[in-house]
Structure 1
Amino acid sequence: MRISARADYAVRAALLLVDDGKRGPLKAEAIAEAQEIPHKFLESILNDMRRGGLVVSQRGVNGGYRLARAAEDITIADVVRAVDGPLVSVRGVRPPELAYSGPAESLLPLWIAVRANVRRILEGVSLADVASGRLPEFVHALADDPAAWSNP
């Protein structure tokens, strides 16, 4: 699986919007500067996130962006889907819509398993988990495997 710059920037921007209720909306310029994201690219990402129901925007001097719901209720998968579409696709098609024959027949359950594992991880972690630094134990277990850090 490839994580696009768009998805990476979207998650990073969303994490800046995790708010303890003590500050107001953040301007796109402030988010872009804080995370070193090209401003125009970020505006496009924030628009996708707004259309996806993840952020709301407010105009005016005190305007900017804020999360549309609690950070505990927004998963990393929600953010990635809002800006990139399905989490896992093969040639732009979702695995359940694929069909293979002959020796390639076993590919379908393999792609489905990949999709299930990606979903398990990204749907199991909220913005609040990442922002607080308290990732779920299953994520730590996967990341603690030394093989996870090396390329074969």
Structure 2
Amino acid sequence: MQISARSDYALRALIATAGFSDGGPVSASKLAEAQAIPLGFLHDIMSDLRRAGLLTSQRGTDGGYTLARPPNEITVGDVLRAINGSLSTVRGLPPDQVNYHGVASGLPELWLTLHEAIADVVDRTTLADLLPGQYRTSA
């Protein structure tokens, strides 16, 4: 699995939004500065996250972004799907749509198993889990 800059930035911005403790809207410029994300790129990402229902936005001088749900209800999988559409692909196809012949015919099962393992991790990891001091790997 390759994590794109766009996915990395999206997760960092949402974690930062969750981490600002005052509960009010956080400006894109504050998020960009806090996470060293190019502001123009961040605006596009935040629009995608808003359309996916993960953020709300408020215009005006006191405007900015807030999480649409509590951080313990937004998973990494939600964010990755909002940005990428799919958690994993094989040559641009979903793992359940690849087909091989002959000795390689067992590969689709491997790709599906990997996809399911990725989904398991990202769908049980929330933004709250990723706040400083919270994340723990499981054995």
TM tier, shorter chain?
over 0.9
Amino acid at match of 1:34: A
Normalising by structure 1, report the TM-score: 0.86
1:60 aligns to what?
A: 60
More off after superposition, 12-21 vs 61-70:
12-21
Matching residue of 1:96: 96
Q: How many matched pairs?
A: 139
RMSD: 1.4
1:25-46 deviations in whole A, cap 9, x for unaligned?
0010110011110000000000
40 and 53 in structure 1: CA distance in 2 versus 1, 3 angstrom threshold = same
Q: Separation in 2 of the partners of 1:42 and 1:84?
A: 15
Whole-Å separation in 2 of the counterparts to 1:9 and 1:100: 35
Q: In structure 1, the residue corresponding to 2:103 is in which secondary structure?
A: helix
Q: Deviations over 1:46-88 (max 9, x none)?
A: 0110111100110011100010001000001111111112011
Asked whether the 8 Å contact 1:125–1:136 carries over to 2, the reply is no
Change in CA separation of 1:20 and 1:12 when aligned onto 2, cut-off 3 Å: closer
Residues 36-75 of structure 1 mapped to structure 2, 5 A cutoff:
36-75=36-75
Where do 1:3-152 residues align within 5 Å? 3-18=3-18, 22-138=22-138, 141=139
Which runs of 5 or more residues in structure 1 are unaligned? 142-152
Deviation at 1:136, TM superposition (A): 4.3
Say if 2:7 and 2:80, in contact at 8 Å, map to a contact too.
yes
Report the CA distance between 1:21 and its aligned residue: 6.1
State the one-letter code of the partner of 1:2.
Q
Superposition TM-score, scaled by structure 2 size: 0.94
2:66 partner SS: strand
